[in-house]
Structure 1
Amino acid sequence: MSDMSKVCMVFGAGSYYDESPVVPQGALVVAADGGYDHALALGIRPDVAIGDFDSISKTPVLHEDGDDPASGRVSTIALPAQKDETDMPQAVKVGWNQGIRVFHIFGGLGGRLDHALANLQMLADIARHGGIGFLHGDGCVATAVTDGEIRFPANQVAARRMVSVFAHSDRALGVTIRGLKYETDSVDWTNSHALGVSNEFLPGIPSSISVREGTLIVTYPVEAPQPQWRSGADQAASFGAIDDRRSELLSPLFRD
């Protein structure tokens, strides 16, 4: 059974810009590899550190039964460097395995473009599994919704602070946008054409973005209020096993 009131805070090795993450009381904090250094620099002690630890300055000290919580020790999950998935979805799996379905992810944008794209795909995967992820970076937040809706309360976000909507699935059917500068009414979108770039909040008006069938990626300014969400996707019991085996896809030159 998932606990929708609990969140998982994931810290990655990418850029953090000017946003100062706030950890809600009771949240699970997971560091993905070099995100361990970033979390400590922010004064945040992770509960779990996971990764191949190739981008970390100091390997976390393994938590042991009976340790004082103030000892600074954390649970550590070491992964091989040559694996099929990056460290970030492995961190999400840690939270998912504890019944959490809401993820706030920092350090997943900026730096390497390939990792940023992988993390956007991960948001869509979380949504298809019936959860939601919020990827923070450079003054904006990206999220995804499958067969559902996100709703923003009325706000006073300044003009020219953009809200953009993209189809992630091949087709996103029945996309409806209400309360933003540009509205749509049950329009079918494809992921080969960017139709929803550069929308805006309207002062003092609540807004919503929904899709009848398919997955949307939504980006919005970080100062916007936290949206409510609903998903028509079935909540999956598993987000997949932690990828702790060396990849079998390596070319023969690298197998030995």
Structure 2
Amino acid sequence: MGEILIITGGPIQEAFAQSYISQGNWDLVIAADKGLELCHSCMIVPDLILGDFDSSDQEILSYYQSHYPDRIRRYPSRKNETDTELALNEAFLYPDKEIHILGALGGRIDHMLANISLLQIAVDKKRICYLIDESARLFMTDHPVVIQKDHLSKDLVSILAYGTDVTGLTLEGFAYDTKDFTLPVAGSRGISNYLVSDEGKISFTSGTVLVIETLEY
């Protein structure tokens, strides 16, 4: 399975971003609007640069327009999707590839919540999609998953119901294991669990879970 990297304009530690980018084997790199600035700092030439560019550094944008005009796709500022969603839609055109999004967390809370909701679109399309920054990796799933301990900080994992209650939730390998539990969509149940084994198993019978892995960087 290949990997696609989307770089958006939210705050992220540049050192972490450089490290994460260098460790990937990316089949496609997409810069969404202000994310082009991080690409420039990391000396990356994206395969696709898109957005309305209302928040981009115009000098940096001009450089890429001059040197890579065929990679620029400009959208009007009045549109129904955020630049991050437009980038995700492009990634969906490439089947069977994991999608990793940097710069989608932190910053404006409305943008962050919208970015988290984009994970539901990935679930609906049966795609694996991660939102990543130096402190956490988020993903959604509607089927059982296994969490590995080796990349976590303090072994912390939060598991939240998204959209509707999650029924039949069974956790194995966690400090707070459950069996056939209904996780309500409202409330804080599921926050700050942690692994006590090398891996943690999450299974359930219905619903969608948002998994937040605390990273160690």
> Structure 1 length as normaliser, TM-score?
0.75
Cα offset, 1:127, TM superposition:
1.4
Runs of 4+ in structure 1 off by over 4 angstroms are 71-74
Q: Does structure 1 residue 19 correspond to structure 2 residue 13? A: no
Determine the structure 2 residue equivalent to 1:186.
180
Structure 2 residue runs of 5 or longer lacking an equivalent are none
Residues of 1 paired with 2:136 and 2:70: CA distance? 30
2:212 pairs with 1:219: yes
Aligned residue for 1:150?
Answer: 145
Q: Is the 8 A contact 1:8 1:100 kept in 2?
A: no
- Contact 1:16–1:138, Cα closer than 8 Å, also in 2: yes
CA distance in 2, matches of 1:114, 1:10: 19
1:209 equivalenced with 2:206 (yes/no): no
Name whichever of 177-186 and 92-101 sits farther off: 92-101
Q: In structure 2, what is the Cα distance between the partners aligned to 1:106 and 1:26?
A: 13
Do the aligned partners of residues 109 and 156 (structure 1) sit closer, same or farther apart at CA in structure 2, a change above 3 Å counting?
closer
Q: Which residue, out of 65, 72, 79, partners 2:75?
A: 79
Q: Measure the CA separation in 2 of the matches of 1:106 and 1:134.
A: 9
Could you say what secondary structure the match of 1:22 adopts?
A: helix
Corresponding residue for 2:116? 120
Q: In structure 1, the residue corresponding to 2:171 is in which secondary structure?
A: strand
Structure with the higher fraction of residues in helix conformation: 2
1:156–1:91 distance in 2 versus 1, CA, 3 Å: closer
Equivalent positions of 1:1-256 (< 5 A) are: 5-17=1-13, 18-20=15-17, 21-23=20-22, 24-58=24-58, 59=61, 61=64, 72=68, 75-146=71-142, 148-155=143-150, 157=152, 159=154, 161-202=155-196, 204-223=197-216
Aligned partners of 1:180 and 1:34: how far apart in 2?
39
Amino acid at match of 1:13: G
Distance in 2, Cα, partners of 1:77 & 1:175: 43
Q: CA RMSD in A?
A: 2.2
CA distance 1:205–1:51, change in 2 (3 Å) = same
Which residue type is aligned with residue 166 of structure 1? Answer: L
* CA distance, structure 2, for counterparts of residue 34 and residue 158 of structure 1: 29
Is 2:65–2:72's contact at 8 Å kept on the other side of the alignment?
Answer: yes
Segments of structure 1 that go 5 or more residues without pairing to the other structure are 64-70, 225-256
Tell me if the contact between 2:4 and 2:26 (Cα under 8 Å) persists in the aligned partners. Answer: no
Identify if the C-alpha distance between structure 1 residues 222 and 27 changes in structure 2 by more than 3 Å, giving closer, same or farther.
farther
Percent of residue pairs bearing the same amino acid type: 25
Give, as a single letter, the amino acid of the residue that structure 2 aligns with 1:173: T
Task: State the TM-score, normalized to the length of structure 2.
Answer: 0.87
How many residue pairs get aligned? The number is 210
In the TM superposition, what is the alpha-carbon distance from 1:211 to its structure 2 partner?
Answer: 2.7
Paired amino acid for 2:185: N
SS in structure 1 at match of 2:121: helix
Larger radius of gyration, structure 1 or 2? 1
Go from structure 1 to structure 2 and tell me whether the alpha carbon gap of 1:158 and 1:138 turns closer, same or farther (over 3 Å shift): closer
Quote the Cα distance in structure 2 between the aligned partners of 1:218 and 1:200. Answer: 12
CA–CA separation in structure 2 for the residues paired with 1:119 and 1:101: 19
8 Å CA contact 2:152–2:213 kept in 1: the answer is: no
SS of alignment partner, residue 16 of structure 2: coil
